[in-house]
């Protein structure tokens, strides 16, 4: 919601007026100089939406504001061209509405369009959320990254490395929405007050690493060539893509990282496939390159890659993980009920590479149990199990 600065006002006053933490207002308006506000200047107020309203007989700003638990000044700031003492029946004004409900819609087949739609809603309501593109897919879709917070501890979380594990994306998006709601409404999640984490932690989330693959699993064959013919050939003519994990080139993005990649490549397959093919070399695919570049540039303290399925948490790689990893994984296990597994005979994964190159904690979290893609009927159970891990990644 955008208001217009009045002479003599301050961002601190707006924080008190709208009951929004001052830091969130400052971070929502990064180009403003809070010491030199200019009359008529626009200020974004996070956690609010503006809605149109037509004046009815007997309406006053005082009555309309009281009904929304706001002082009349809130309406005056939102309607700088309106004289509150001369309202006319049928006159259109803007009313501030505090957002206390989730704007993300997770219970649907969550393809790339659903992600972009929900991200746009979040950015409009929570402008302190930082949103950037880290790269593009084979088919040219932008890969978004979200950042929340300003703290020195940098935690990274991602989902949908694998196409038919797309349910991980709405899990992450629902958590992001609940976190933002708690920040702007000074609330809690599971009794844990969220406000302190904004100052101690910078949360990085790439909710959908593999948009092309996700769309293939959910929407079927792409219309564009050569992708349409290529995936049909890779899938041996079948229109059933429920077993597809790879990107649109038939490369498994979580087998693409330079962490004993050669050992993974020896296991096959040796050509593009719906799953497990590691490519001709590490980091050949634009999606894995984007994740590698993001990680190199970001100094993450820990990373969590969300996959499905199995209700397990993989936390080691070749004995290179630090002692902190074991402490973290047992807390993740406690809050989720998932089983920690230190190592398996698997290589070239994102968390493997992170552990190997940074000697910091990395985790692969396998949400839920069943046959991928897991059905939306499992979403609530999966979310509640994953929520404990997501919260622990902030407070540990």
Are 29 and 174 found together in one domain? no
Reference 166, options 111, 221, 241, 243; nearest CA is 111
- The DSSP output letter for 6 is P
**Is the separation of the CB atoms in 163 and 245 below 8 Å?**
yes
Tokens of 28: 């929502």
Give a yes or no: residue 234 inside a domain: no
Nearest CA to 279 out of 217, 305, 288, 243 is that of: 288
Give how many domains the chain has, as a whole number. Answer: 2
For the record, the structure tokens of 294 come out as 């993001």
Residue 10 belongs to a domain with what CATH number? 3.10.350.10
| Domain membership flag for residue 163 | yes
Report the pLDDT value the prediction gives residue 305, as an integer from 0 to 100. 98
Residue 224 lies in a domain: no
For residue 306, which of 332, 334, 331, 287 has the smallest C-alpha distance? 332
Do residues 206 and 65 share a domain? Answer: no
Query: Which one of 347, 350, 383, 385 is the catalytic residue?
Result: 347
Compute how many other C-beta atoms are within 10 angstroms of the C-beta atom of residue 342: 14
Environment class of 60 (CB within 10 Å of its CB; exposed 0-12, middle 13-18, buried 19+): middle
Q: How many helices (H) and strands (E) does the chain have?
A: 14, 14
Structural domain contains residue 277: no
**CA atoms in the 13 A half-sphere facing the CB of 304:** 28
Q: Report how far apart the first and last C-alpha atoms of the chain are (Å, whole number).
A: 34
pLDDT recorded at residue 36: 92
Question: Tell me, what CATH number does 352's domain have?
Answer: 3.40.630.10
Return the SS3 of 334.
helix
- Calpha distance 364→282 (Å, rounded): 19
Q: Note if 366 is an active site residue.
A: yes
Contact 315, 362 (CB under 8 A): yes
- Residue 188's pLDDT is 97
Non-local CB neighbours of 238 within 8 Å, separated by 6+ positions = none
On whether residue 366 sits in a domain, the answer given is: yes
Residues 117 and 204 in one domain: yes
CA angle 45, 128, 19 (to 5 degrees): 40
Domain that holds residue 201: 112-213+282-395
Amino acid 68: pLDDT:
86
Return the HEC string of 351-384: HHHHHHHHCCCEEEEEECCCCCCCCHHHHHHHHH
| Domain shared by 32 and 166, yes or no | no
Identify the H or E element spanning 54: strand 48-54
Together in a domain, 120 and 208: yes
Of 311, 316, 317, 354, residue with least CA distance to 333: 311
How many other CB atoms are there within 10 angstroms of residue 220's CB atom?
Answer: 12
Work out the burial of residue 59: count CB atoms within 10 Å of its CB; fewer than 13 is exposed, 13-18 middle, 19 or more buried: middle
Pick the closest to residue 74 from 86, 87, 62 (CA basis). Answer: 62
Looking at the fold, whether 120 and 207 belong to one and the same domain comes out as yes
3-class SS string, 185-224:
CCCEECCEECHHHHHHEEEEEECCCCHHHHHHHHHCCCCC
Same domain as 312, residue 199: yes
Same domain for 67 and 175, yes or no, is no
| Cβ(205)–Cβ(157) below 8 Å | yes
Which one from 165, 178, 366, 385 is the annotated catalytic residue? 366
Size of the chain, expressed as the number of residues it contains: 396
- 60 and 164: one domain? no
> pLDDT under 70 in the chain at which residues?
none
pLDDT tens-digit readout, 268-284:
999 999 999 999 999 99
Determine the longest span between alpha carbons in the chain, in angstroms: 79
């Amino acid at each position: 919601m955008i208001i217009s600065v009045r002479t003599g006002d301050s961002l601190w006053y707006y924080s008190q007026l709208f009951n929004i933490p001052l830091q969130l207002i400052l971070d929502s308006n990064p180009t403003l100089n809070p010491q030199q506000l200019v009359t008529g200047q626009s200020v974004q107020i996070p956690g609010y939406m503006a809605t149109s309203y037509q004046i009815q007989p007997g309406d006053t700003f005082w009555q309309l504001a009281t009904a929304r638990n706001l002082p009349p000044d809130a309406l005056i700031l939102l309607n700088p061209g309106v004289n509150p003492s001369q309202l006319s029946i049928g006159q259109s004004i803007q009313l501030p509405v505090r957002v206390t409900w989730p704007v993300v819609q997770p219970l649907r087949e969550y393809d790339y369009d659903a992600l972009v739609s929900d991200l746009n809603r979040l950015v409009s309501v929570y402008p302190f959320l930082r949103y950037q593109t880290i790269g593009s897919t084979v088919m040219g879709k932008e890969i978004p990254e979200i950042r929340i917070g300003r703290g020195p501890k940098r935690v990274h979380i991602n989902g949908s490395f694998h196409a038919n594990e797309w349910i991980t994306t709405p899990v992450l998006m629902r958590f992001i929405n609940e976190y933002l709601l708690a920040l702007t409404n000074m609330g809690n999640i599971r009794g844990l007050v969220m406000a302190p984490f904004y100052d101690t932690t910078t949360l990085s989330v790439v909710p959908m690493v593999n948009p092309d693959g996700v769309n293939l699993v959910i929407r079927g064959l792409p219309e564009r060539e050569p992708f349409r013919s290529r995936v049909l050939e890779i899938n041996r003519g079948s229109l059933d893509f429920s077993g597809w994990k790879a990107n649109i080139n038939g490369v498994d993005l979580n087998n693409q990282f330079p962490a004993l990649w050669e050992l993974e490549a020896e296991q096959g397959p040796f050509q593009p496939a719906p799953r497990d093919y590691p490519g001709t070399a590490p980091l050949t695919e634009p999606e894995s390159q984007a994740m590698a570049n993001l990680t190199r540039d970001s100094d993450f303290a820990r990373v969590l890659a969300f996959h499905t399925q199995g209700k397990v948490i993989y936390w080691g790689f070749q004995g290179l993980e630090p002692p902190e990893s074991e402490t973290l994984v047992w807390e993740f296990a406690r809050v989720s009920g998932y089983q920690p597994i230190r190592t398996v005979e698997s290589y070239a994964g994102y968390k493997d590479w992170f552990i190997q190159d940074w000697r910091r904690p990395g985790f692969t979290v396998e949400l839920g149990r069943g046959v991928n893609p897991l059905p939306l009927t499992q979403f609530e159970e999966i979310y509640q199990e994953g929520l404990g891990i997501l919260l622990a990644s902030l407070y540990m």
